[in-house]
Amino acid sequence: MNASKPSSDLNAEILALKKERDAVILAHNYQLPEIQDVADYVGDSLGLSYRAQETGAKTILFCGVHFMAETAKIINPAKTVLLPDLDAGCSLSDSCPADMLRAFLESNRDKDYYVVAYINCSAAVKALSDVICTSGNAARIVSRVPQDRRILFVPDQNLGAWVTEQTGRPMDLWQGNCHVHVEFTRESIEKARAQYPEAKVVAHPECPYAVRLLADEVCSTEKMVAYCRESNAKTFVVVTESGMLHRLRKEVPGKVFIPGPTDNCACSDCRFMKMNTPDKVVAALRHGRPEITLTENVRRAAEAPLLRMLEWSR
């Protein structure tokens, strides 16, 4: 596929290939605008998990990062799950390797941890967990954990701290974080506030404490759409990955969305999310690869905490 093809040609090609392969395209809110525009569904990790569970299509082309496509495969072992670029990983997921978590749990057996894993982790880490959560349901999930159990929350220390602020439930936090969200600082957001005094600041819970404190709203990417639509404000500083701006501008017309700045940069890209391109989307549909594969042992062990999450958050 030629990158310079007009978008109508691209759309027609993708539509034809989708039919041929009986495929559905699921895309995360951080994907490139051209990819969001050809997807059947665009959303956050929670919405995407439900769509992956519900789809009747034989093939899921997952435009997001590796752990998201893996999640779709965990709950759909009989389907073909494609990811446009297999190297589209996640720095947060990488900050909690399964062997480190296993060793930690073994050396802390006496604590009998109930492991709550944020969905941004590998299938092998999910397999070691009791329940999964996303930024959209984390407080609800944590509040359902039996009161007599001590919680280990992996891998995001910022999201974990935010959940404790919301629920009052103390948790031991794995010290992982996301390379995009830790770049936002108190100084960078204070500057944006001074520049746009009329704006509401909306931030993702993966941001550090000082940034969350400065925000008018802290929520998942999906809830950002609802918040901005329902708010009386006309201008918003959006403190998360840049892909979010496309969805907001499209679905909340007539309002102004400013990318949250960091100390070095006016807008933030996740280098993994941006590895997927329209060319790679077409190639994946045409050739039926790269495909996500999992050993049945890991898949089965990862499925239980994931299904528990889907049930608890309904």
The footprint of ligand 13P on residues 260-289 (CB under 6 A) is none
Per-residue contact string for residues 218-247; x = within reach of ligand 13P by CB under 6 A: --xx--------------------------
Per-residue contact string for residues 94-133; x = within reach of ligand 13P by CB under 6 A: --------------------------x-------------
| Alpha helix segments (H runs only) across 185-230 | 186-195, 209-214, 221-230
- Contact present, 309 and 141 (Cβ < 8 Å): yes
- Contact present, 159 and 135 (Cβ < 8 Å): yes
Binding site for ligand SF4 (CB under 6 A): 65, 90-92, 120, 178-180, 206, 241, 270, 272-273
135 binds ligand 13P (CB under 6 A): yes
68: its two tokens: 């998201």
197: its two tokens: 């005094």
Shortest approach of ligand 13P to residue 41 CB, angstroms?
13
**CB of 14 or CB of 153, closer to ligand SF4:** 153
Residue 242, binding choice from ligand 13P, ligand SF4, none, Cβ under 5 to 8 Å by partner class = none
Shortest approach of ligand 13P to residue 136 CB, angstroms?
6
The footprint of ligand 13P on residues 7-66 (CB under 6 A) is 29, 44-45
Shortest approach of ligand 13P to residue 137 CB, angstroms?
9
Please give the DSSP secondary-structure letter assigned to residue 32.
Answer: -
Taking the C-alpha atoms of residue 149 and residue 36, their distance in angstroms, rounded to an integer, is 41
Taking the C-alpha atoms of residue 187 and residue 178, their distance in angstroms, rounded to an integer, is 19
Q: Which positions ≥6 away from 88 have C-beta within 8 Å?
A: 64, 65, 66, 272, 273, 275, 276
Taking the C-alpha atoms of residue 29 and residue 196, their distance in angstroms, rounded to an integer, is 24
Shortest approach of ligand SF4 to residue 205 CB, angstroms?
11
